Amino acid sequence: MRLFSATLAVAGLSACGALSLAEAELPEVCQDLDPVHVPAAPAGSPTTVNYRTPLELPREFPGASGASRVDVEFVRAVLTAEDVTDLGFVDRIELSAVKSGATTPLASYAPATAAPTEIVLAPPAPIEVNTLASNGSVDLDTTITGTFPRSPWTLLPRVCYGARGAVEWSP
């Protein structure tokens, strides 16, 4: 998420002249999450994999000398894989935000094509996530169900956000 913070900071601070307020909007910033190594599955057996990763959402611009704020929306998640030719073995995916045991659904997937090489999970409209992340950490929880390959493979998740931010300072 450091790339996200740095990009937004540069966009907000690249205004001309002596301003006391800078605002920026980024329609989409994507972050590659850690790869998920999935072991070989028994032949023909339905399998469920669940993984959880912390969401690192900036609330302020790093290093800002004045008041700042960053508003973040979940736009989409994109899943690709290594060591398999496609993701046609996936039957269902549920993507949620989890905070203190409470779950907020973000998006789900059911197959639309026989052999997708990429799965995109997007809500009907971007979901504001700042309130989810206030007063504590929030995790991204992903549950994938299907008849997985008999050889190990690696899931490559990417999460994309939209962001708006503002920084105030004294000239």
- Token pair belonging to 145: 């169900």
Closest CA to 9 of 169, 166, 171, 134: 166
Return the sign of the alpha-carbon dihedral for residues 152, 143, 52, 79: positive
Q: Which amino acid is at 90?
A: V
- Quote the tokens at residue 88: 């046609």
Domains, the chain, with CATH or none? 2-168 (2.60.120)
pLDDT in tens, the chain (171 residues): 444 444 444 444 444 445 577 777 888 888 899 999 999 998 888 999 999 988 776 655 555 556 667 788 889 999 999 999 999 999 999 999 888 888 889 999 999 888 999 999 999 998 887 776 666 678 889 999 999 999 999 999 999 988 887 777 666
pTM of the model: 0.77
Question: Cα 140–145–146 angle (5° rounding)?
Answer: 145
pLDDT value at residue 15: 47
